[in-house]
Amino acid sequence: MTSSSHSQQIETYLRRLRKGLLNMREEDAREIVEELRSHILEKAAAGGELTLAGVNSTLAALGSPEELASQYVTDDLLARAESSRAPWVILRGVFHWATLSVSGFLVFIVCVVGYAFGGSFLIAALAKPLNPRVGLWMLDNGSYSLALGMTGRAKEGRELLGWFLIPIGLSLGGGTMLLTTHFGLWCIRRFRQARQSLGVAGQ
Please give the residue ranges that form the binding site for another protein (CB under 8 A): 31-32, 34-39, 41-43, 61-63, 67-68, 71-72, 75-76, 79, 195-201
Nearer to another protein, 131 or 193 (CB): 193
Task: Identify the burial level of 24 via C-beta atoms within 10 angstroms of its C-beta, where 0-12 means exposed, 13-18 middle and 19 or more buried.
Answer: buried
Least distance in angstroms from the C-beta of 79 to another protein: 5
Least distance in angstroms from the C-beta of 5 to another protein: 19
Contact 174, 118 (CB under 8 A): yes
Nearest to 185 by CA among 81, 88, 76, 71: 81
Contact 195, 201 (CB under 8 A): yes
Least distance in angstroms from the C-beta of 183 to another protein: 22
Nearer to another protein, 152 or 199 (CB): 199
Task: Compute CA distances 100 → 24, 54, 113, whole Å.
Answer: 18, 32, 20
Nearer to another protein, 40 or 147 (CB): 40
Nearest to 94 by CA among 80, 83, 105: 105
Nearer to another protein, 43 or 153 (CB): 43
Least distance in angstroms from the C-beta of 107 to another protein: 19
